[in-house]
Amino acid sequence: MDAHSKAVQRWLKVTPAGLYCEAGDFHIDPARAVPRAVITHGHGDHARPGHGAVLATQETLAIMRTRYDGDDGRSSQALAYGETVRLGDVSVELRPAGHVLGSAQIVLAHGGKRVVVSGDYKRRRDPTCPPFEPVDCDVFITEATFGLPVFRHPPDDQEIDKLLASQRLFPERCHLVGVYGLGKAQRVIMLLREAGYTAPLFIHGALEKLCKLYGDFGVDLSELLPATAADKAELQGQIVLAPPGAANQSWARRLPDPVVGMASGWMGVRARARQRGAELPLIISDHADWDELTQTFADVAAPTIWVTHGREEALVHYARQQGHDAWALSVAGREDEDE
């Protein structure tokens, strides 16, 4: 192992509960309840309930309260992007990760080394959150959800055009788009708005609270109507957003002959899109694609890269070819991203 990794591993360790910063006595995105946690963002595999103290952006804390019935830890501390706090012997700073509302990279400094735990991130513009900021560091810990060079997400507007073209082609049907409730739903709504789609959008009940929360933080999603309250005739020709899987539930019977779409980075690979039963795959992702991942390695200028959370082998291989020291880090509690 390289010198940077050796030095950092003395105070930042992989434990069964997840990444643990010994010098500051806190976990990062732990897989189970711990006394002190620093949380990158509100997705379920990163933010879990039951912690003692939680440090995160105020958006992430609000998301946790919404999802976990008020639970953002017994005590919580909000930290704005760019602010620094000291935890034990470590200085901790949050910087935007561009993934979902409130998502942050955690910048740790200790013993002369700077480590960036990027959490989940992407590099392209997202109208619902500030963009990823590259931070120079000694060790960069990257996700690898789309860590194969076949993942090249197309421009978002092209995918939104696909949806609108399909709506024109099948005016008597409704379009049901599967979206994850945190981030993807709101992003797809904003992209539709930016494409000039001003009609009301219909949403599944499970998306309501988080859409409202985005609104409270100033993300204007414009008119949303509950799909549940609408009758069949009303939904003809409309776009309905629902959690993935809703298409196969009795809930979907209320929809007039829906064209089933799915917005996810996995849609870029045909076999995956078919497995999800998508008739209209939309390649819209909140995770960096291969080009964004590799661009980020160059931007953060880190001599050492730790790869976790997905397809590590190809990224490690690539990073080494580019002259980085790179290692796969296996952290508990991370499956393939449901994205």
| Cα 224 to chain centroid, rounded | 22
Span 118-177, contacts to Zn ion by CB under 5 A = 120
43 binds Zn ion (CB under 5 A): yes
Candidates 92-100, 113-121, 205-213, 313-321; binding stretch for other proteins (CB under 8 A) = 313-321
Closest separation in Å from C-beta 45 to Zn ion: 5
Give me the sign of the Cα torsion angle 257, 262, 268, 274: negative
> Which residue in 152, 209, 212, 232 binds other proteins (CB under 8 A)?
152
Candidates 6-14, 144-152, 179-187, 238-246; binding stretch for other proteins (CB under 8 A) = 144-152
CA neighbor of 32 nearest in space, from 22, 21, 46: 46
Q: Are 58 and 21 in contact (CB under 8 A)?
A: no
274 binds other proteins (CB under 8 A): yes
Q: Of other proteins, Zn ion, none, which one does residue 279 interact with (CB within 5 to 8 Å by kind)? A: other proteins
Q: Of other proteins, Zn ion, none, which one does residue 120 interact with (CB within 5 to 8 Å by kind)? A: Zn ion
74 binds other proteins (CB under 8 A): no
311 binds other proteins (CB under 8 A): yes
CA distance 172 to 70: 42
- The token pair that represents 46 in the structure block: 């990163």
Q: CA distances (Å), 104 to each of 28, 207, 259, 305, in order?
A: 12, 22, 35, 18
CA neighbor of 23 nearest in space, from 148, 134, 112, 138: 112
Q: Of other proteins, Zn ion, none, which one does residue 90 interact with (CB within 5 to 8 Å by kind)? A: none
> Which residue in 50, 82, 111, 154 binds other proteins (CB under 8 A)?
154
Task: Write the DSSP assignment of 212-249 as a string of letters.
Answer: HHHHHTT-----EEEGGGS-HHHHTT-EEEE-TTGGGS
> Which residue in 78, 109, 123, 170 binds other proteins (CB under 8 A)?
170
> Which residue in 208, 269, 295, 329 binds other proteins (CB under 8 A)?
269
Q: Are 21 and 35 in contact (CB under 8 A)?
A: no
**Binding footprint of other proteins, residue count (CB under 8 A):** 29
Closest separation in Å from C-beta 290 to other proteins: 9
Span 90-129, contacts to Zn ion by CB under 5 A = 120
CA distance 305 to 224: 42
Closest separation in Å from C-beta 154 to other proteins: 7
Closest separation in Å from C-beta 173 to other proteins: 8
CA distance 27 to 30: 6
Q: Of other proteins, Zn ion, none, which one does residue 43 interact with (CB within 5 to 8 Å by kind)? A: Zn ion
The length of the chain is 339
Write the burial class of residue 270 (CB in 10 Å: 0-12 exposed, 13-18 middle, 19+ buried).
exposed
- The token pair that represents 338 in the structure block: 């449901």
249 binds other proteins (CB under 8 A): no
Q: Are 238 and 202 in contact (CB under 8 A)?
A: yes
117 binds other proteins (CB under 8 A): no
**Binding footprint of Zn ion, residue count (CB under 5 A):** 3
Q: Of Zn ion, other proteins, none, which one does residue 217 interact with (CB within 5 to 8 Å by kind)? A: none
Helices (H), the chain: 3-9, 58-67, 156-169, 184-194, 208-216, 232-235, 270-275, 290-300, 312-321
Closest separation in Å from C-beta 183 to Zn ion: 7
Binding site for Zn ion (CB under 5 A): 43, 45, 120
Binding site for other proteins (CB under 8 A): 148-152, 154, 162, 166, 169-170, 259, 268-275, 278-281, 311, 313-314, 317-318, 321
